[in-house]
Each structure stands twice: as structure tokens, then as C-alpha cells.
Structure 1
Amino acid sequence: MDQLIQTLAIAALPVIFAITLHEAAHGYVARHFGDLTAYAAGRISLNPLRHIDPVGTILIPVLILLFSGGSLLFGYAKPVPVDFGRLRRPKQDMLWVAAAGPLANLAMAIGWGCMLKLAQLLPVNAYTLPLERMADLGMDVNIGLMLLNLLPIPPLDGGRIAVSLLPYRQAVAFSRVEPWGFPILILLLFSGVLASILYPLMGIMRYLLALIFNFQA
């Protein structure tokens, strides 16, 4: 139990940043392309309280950590409201709005990789090991969130990107999957299929970051 409490304490900051900046990025890019819905709702903000969902950001991650023994972490925030019809070029601009969240997670994964390298270069003290663990977990959280959201399942970002890229008729047909997107995701999660897809890709991303920063895996 003590180990789990330590994991929760170290995971809190990376998880909050990963989810907050992911959602804020969607709103910022939507505003850039003409939709002020998120801006009017106050969701283009780095204040985590504006994005935290009590169930998806707190309860579900804690329960998954408990039941997985600390080996798996999954959660979500309140989706940023985007009215795609207000974008200047709705179908084309949807791609950039959807891609903004995963790109924010990629940037944060790189930032945590830099932090991990720094922690390994610093003289060993009472803070270096917790910082190293936080940076390590920060990379995993952001890589996992990025890859999860890039799955081509509406309403995930990957589904939105697919709708943007498909020809109009196929895009309309594919978008009808959206009401079933979350049940499909839960089924993939608890069947183990999601882990079998994400873990190898996460390993590749971790390997690439290790090559870039030359840190000890």
C-alpha cells in the first residue's frame, strides 16, 4: 500500500499536466482556426481545475492503478467543446484541432525525457530518485495518452483525424461509429487487446527517446 501511495503522489503531477495541456491544446488550435467555443467556455487554460473530470481524471486512474498493481494508468479529462462547423474549413481544420492534443503529449514526453536525463546527471540526493521516477512516469503517461488518442476510433483524436482525411461519404459513415466509441474502448481495455496494441508502440517510443537523450532505461 505504501508503494501505491508513493506511485500516486509521483504520478499526480505528470497526469494532471498531460491531461490539462492535451485539452488546452485542442481549444487553442480550434480558436486559431475560427471556433471560439472553448475560449468562451474558459477552457483555453492551464488551470487543471477547468479540465479535471472527477471520475475520469481522479477515480478511474486510481482504481486502475489499484487493480493493476500500479502497472497500468488510464484516465481522461472533460472534453474541450469544439464546434467544428465554426472552423473556417471544417473538414480540413478538424485534423489540426484533433492532432493538437497528441502533439502536446509528444512535446511533454520529450520534456520529461530531458528531465530524466537531467536527474541522472545530477549528484545523487534525496530529490534525484523521486525526480527520476516522476520523469520516467511522465514519459509513459504522455506516450500512452498520445498513442491511445491516435487510435482511429471516434470520438478519439485518431477518429477525428480519420474523418478529416476520408472522402466525404466515407467520413460521414465512419463518424456514425462515435456513439459506440467509448464502449469499444472499454472492451479493448478489459479484453487486453488495448495493452497488446499500445505496449509495443510505447516501447518503441521509449527506445527512441532513450536514443535521443542517451539516458539509462
Structure 2
Amino acid sequence: MFDIANTIKEISILALPFLLAITCHEAAHGFAAYLLGDPTAKQAGRLTLNPVKHLDPMGTLALVLTRMIGWAKPVPVNPMYFKNPQRDMMIVALAGPAANMALAVMFSIVVKVILSLDVNSMSPLMLRILEPSVMIANAGVIINLALCFFNLLPIPPLDGSKILAGFMPREAAFKFMSFRYGFVIVIVLAMLGLLGKVISPAMGFFYNFLVH
């Protein structure tokens, strides 16, 4: 039976880390592209930490349904501005997952700090504040690790495909990135329960490393 109260609680815990995760992910793409000479994201108003500029309705719905994976509107990038388009696109692609890994580290520090506190000396009010805080921080670790490794999958148009293409001969990279059914593969993997199995080992390793 659908438990609306529990669902609202879960969404309230996931909302902040999810918004921060997708915002920093997309902004990192934009900033990396801008530093490499592409002003497209800046002109589109996407060099911002305002989550409204990055939210994608379907990506947000995916988070609600999966409690783990979601996405934002892709930041526009024009490789024509790059001195070395293939290499620079790889750098821009890597910036998003790198931002998520950095956030996972930051959230893990918050978790460790809260768990190191002496709860026996705290007031009931402080405990009521700390309990949801550690849950939000822990969700921040999980969500950012999930987005990091999900986006590193070498399936077009995910970031991992652009990183892989950076190591390919130009013609092969062009053909690889022209593949238009990447999200169909992702959806099929998710429906078969294989998507979680693919990224869970890496997530589990880094979660244990960061939090425990």
C-alpha cells in the first residue's frame, strides 16, 4: 500500500542533496567549457548554482521513482570553440562526475562529524535537528556517488561516452557519439534491474571508504 507520509519524508530528505548534486554537476560542465573557451553555457544563463535553471521534469520524476537516480537539463556545449575539441569535450564531460565525487566527500565529512558528537549530552531539540541532518548528509553521499558512476557509464549521451570518445580515433569517436539509442539501453537496464547492479559495486566501495 502506498504510504504518502513516508514518501513525503523520503522526498524531503532527498530534495536538498539531489538539487545540489544536479546543479553542481551541470554547472561544473558549464564552467569547464567556459574555461576552455566556450561561452555557450554562460550565454544560456547556465553558469549558475540556481537549481531552477537546471531542473528537468523527467529527471526529477526519475528521482522520486528510483530514490537514487535523476538528471538535469544538459548544459549546452559547443565544441567548435575548443582548441582541441575531442580532448576538451572529454575534460568537460569529466567535470560533472568529478563535482559529484567532491560533493560526496563533503557530505561524508558532515556525516562523520555528526556521528562523532556526544549525543548523551545533547538536548532533545538538538537531537531532533541532528537526526534529519545526518540522514540528509548520508543521502547526499549516496545520491552523488550514484550520479557520478551513473554518468560515467560509457553509453551515449552520458558523460562516460564522451570520456571514452576522447581516447578514440576521431572518425570512430564521431560514429560512437552518433548512436541515438543510449537512453533506451539505460531504460532497459533499469527495467531489468541491471543498472543498479552495474554501478552498485563502485558505489559500495566508495561509500564504505568515505563513511566508515
Same fold (TM over 0.5): yes
- Within a 5 Å distance, the mapping from 1:110-121 to structure 2 comes to 110-121=105-116
Conservation of the 8 A alpha-carbon contact between 1:143 and 1:202: yes
- CA displacement at 1:76 relative to structure 2: 0.7
In structure 2, C-alpha distance between the alignment counterparts of 1:207 and 1:121, rounded to whole Å: 17
- CA displacement at 1:199 relative to structure 2: 1.2
Could you tell me which runs of 5 or more consecutive residues in structure 2 were left unpaired when the two chains were aligned: 120-126
- CA displacement at 1:27 relative to structure 2: 0.3
Q: Which residue of 1 is the match for residue 86 of structure 2?
A: 91
In structure 1, C-alpha distance between the alignment counterparts of 2:65 and 2:205, rounded to whole Å: 27
- CA displacement at 1:204 relative to structure 2: 0.6
Q: Does 2:51 match 1:48? A: yes
In structure 1, C-alpha distance between the alignment counterparts of 2:105 and 2:66, rounded to whole Å: 25
What amino acid maps onto 1:52 in structure 2?
Answer: L
Conservation of the 8 A alpha-carbon contact between 1:120 and 1:128: no
What amino acid maps onto 2:168 in structure 1?
Answer: L
- CA displacement at 1:192 relative to structure 2: 1.2
Following superposition, which runs of at least 4 residues in structure 1 exceed 4 angstroms of deviation? Answer: none
Length-normalised TM-score, structure 1: 0.89
- Within a 5 Å distance, the mapping from 1:59-78 to structure 2 comes to 59-65=61-67, 73-78=68-73
Q: Which residue of 1 is the match for residue 187 of structure 2?
A: 186
- CA displacement at 1:176 relative to structure 2: 2.1
Q: Which shows bigger deviation, 48-57 or 14-23?
A: 48-57
Could you tell me which runs of 5 or more consecutive residues in structure 1 were left unpaired when the two chains were aligned: 66-72
Which residue of 37, 40, 45 maps to 2:40? 37
Structure 2 counterpart SS, 1:165: coil
Q: Does 2:29 match 1:26? A: yes
Name the % identity: 42
In structure 1, C-alpha distance between the alignment counterparts of 2:16 and 2:117, rounded to whole Å: 21
What amino acid maps onto 1:152 in structure 2?
Answer: P
What amino acid maps onto 1:12 in structure 2?
Answer: A
In structure 2, C-alpha distance between the alignment counterparts of 1:60 and 1:147, rounded to whole Å: 16
In structure 1, C-alpha distance between the alignment counterparts of 2:56 and 2:42, rounded to whole Å: 18
- CA displacement at 1:33 relative to structure 2: 0.4
Structure 1 counterpart SS, 2:32: helix
In structure 2, C-alpha distance between the alignment counterparts of 1:108 and 1:189, rounded to whole Å: 25
Q: Which residue of 2 is the match for residue 7 of structure 1?
A: 10
Q: Which residue of 2 is the match for residue 70 of structure 1?
A: none
CA deviation map 1:8-64 (0-9, x unaligned): 10110000000000000000000000110000000010001100112212x222233
Conservation of the 8 A alpha-carbon contact between 1:119 and 1:129: no
Q: Which residue of 2 is the match for residue 104 of structure 1?
A: 99
CA deviation map 1:79-102 (0-9, x unaligned): 000011211211111111000000
What amino acid maps onto 1:195 in structure 2?
Answer: G
Q: Which shows bigger deviation, 186-195 or 19-28?
A: 186-195
Structure 2 counterpart SS, 1:142: helix
In structure 2, C-alpha distance between the alignment counterparts of 1:45 and 1:173, rounded to whole Å: 33
In structure 1, C-alpha distance between the alignment counterparts of 2:34 and 2:51, rounded to whole Å: 19
